[in-house]
Amino acid sequence: MAARLEALGGTSDLLPEEASRWQAVEQKARQVLHRYGFQEIRTPIMETAEVFLQSLGVATEIVQKQMYLFNDRGDRRVALRPEGTASAVRAFLEHGMDKTSSLTKWYYVGPMFRAERPQAGRRRQFHQVGVEVFGSASPHQDAEVMAMLMHLLKSLGIRGAMLMVNNLGCRNDRPKMLEYLKTYFLGHHMDLCPDCKQRLEVNPLRILDCKIERCRSIAKGSMQWSKWLCKDCADHYDKALASLRTVGVECHPDPHLVRGLDYYTKTAFEVVYPGLGAQNAIGAGGRYDDLVERMGGQPTPAVGFAIGLERVMMALEAEQVAIPPAQPPAVYVAALGEQARGKALELLQHLRAAGIAAVGEFEAHSLRRQMENANRQGCPIVLMIGDDELAKGTVTLRDMATRSQAEATWEGCVDEVLRRLRAAA
């Protein structure tokens, strides 16, 4: 007997009812992004591993512990994308867009992959909506991107989200910051958690982000690391926050916010939804002014974010936001007898060609059962064809709400359906 097959741990199916909620959310997100002038880019879900080694850094947790890596049949080192920015930058460079001076605003929607222990809000295949703006160094651009993120969440119905912000400085500030942090944390080495002991070697900035209480209280004493920020970075951040205030978006400075990725510079941000427990970040992003250059392109300032759709769905559930169900088909065609069933297919195709969503089955079911099916699917109109109708060249049209019936000719019934649907709209 064949083994029972199941989806891999940390991956799951979205059955139609749930998928239609996702469609509604994605559609809404696209609407908002288009309003800000973003255009969609679709990159492959797998890339040569080098794309992520170069962008994320070999020492990051994602690359070391979470990335799906394999050798393909040509023995090339391939990775399933763990995030979207690296692929977007790779595409940006591959198509020579770093050599144009125009502003590029991209968004993407799709699955990402990380080998993590599955838990609520954390899947091995998860889905993101992300945006990237290439070619602007302005603090107003940071503000616009953050304002758009909050606008997007609000338009989905998420009202309790909080925007946390921090300033991570530039590459000139980084060595001084890291040296200061390293010296500070070395003094508390014994009390750090095992992960942070390792972070101390690799990137002490990451210790600020540790969720363990003891590490957090040690980190509190190190918060003057921000004094190593240069004037340019300090001014940029102040202007971005001031700009954000002018458009009425509230934000909360959080010196612990460092993000798990090494490529962020200056403004970094995260949106948390307090009701979600430990995995409460719905989205995050920031400026990454050095990444394009680091991956071999012309220096190009950039800023972006990604939101996790699984967590958005959890937040929508927590806020009890009702997502309207998908539109039911407008017409059900019920047929009695083999000849009528053939006619039913013809009629269905006429209806669909006229832009009407129409369904029917070709099984030898009783009229009663077909009416039940029409009812269950929520179709407002049923067209019935039996021997009588075949003989006369007509169909019987039933209004499911009023239960009234009328006769229409074969030629005229599509127009009659259209007329009724327009009247009901």
Q: Where on the chain is the footprint of Zn ion (CB under 5 A)?
A: 169-170, 173, 193, 196, 210, 212, 215, 230, 233
Q: Which is nearer to Zn ion, 265 or 370 (CB)?
A: 265
Q: Which is nearer to Zn ion, 229 or 336 (CB)?
A: 229
Place of tokens 């921090």: 166
Place of tokens 């205030």: 245
45, 48, 64, 80, 190 from 75: Cα distances, Å: 18, 11, 20, 15, 43
In the complex, minimum distance from the CB of residue 192 to Zn ion, in angstroms, rounded to a whole number? 6
In the complex, minimum distance from the CB of residue 76 to Zn ion, in angstroms, rounded to a whole number? 36
CA 164 to chain centre: 19
In the complex, minimum distance from the CB of residue 226 to Zn ion, in angstroms, rounded to a whole number? 11
Q: How many CA atoms within 13 Å lie on the side-chain side of 30?
A: 12
Q: Which is nearer to Zn ion, 221 or 412 (CB)?
A: 221
* One-letter identity of residue 350: H
Q: Which is nearer to Zn ion, 150 or 218 (CB)?
A: 218
Integer Cα distance of 241 and 140 in angstroms: 9
Integer Cα distance of 417 and 398 in angstroms: 10
14, 44, 150, 275, 307 from 80: Cα distances, Å: 20, 9, 29, 30, 18
In the complex, minimum distance from the CB of residue 230 to Zn ion, in angstroms, rounded to a whole number? 3
Q: Which is nearer to Zn ion, 217 or 405 (CB)?
A: 217
Q: Which is nearer to Zn ion, 193 or 408 (CB)?
A: 193
In the complex, minimum distance from the CB of residue 236 to Zn ion, in angstroms, rounded to a whole number? 8
In the complex, minimum distance from the CB of residue 171 to Zn ion, in angstroms, rounded to a whole number? 8
Q: Which is nearer to Zn ion, 215 or 257 (CB)?
A: 215
**DSSP for residue 124:** S
Integer Cα distance of 290 and 299 in angstroms: 7
Contact 115, 68 (CB under 8 A): yes
In the complex, minimum distance from the CB of residue 282 to Zn ion, in angstroms, rounded to a whole number? 23
Integer Cα distance of 36 and 222 in angstroms: 39
With residue 408 as reference, give the H or E element that holds it: strand 405-409
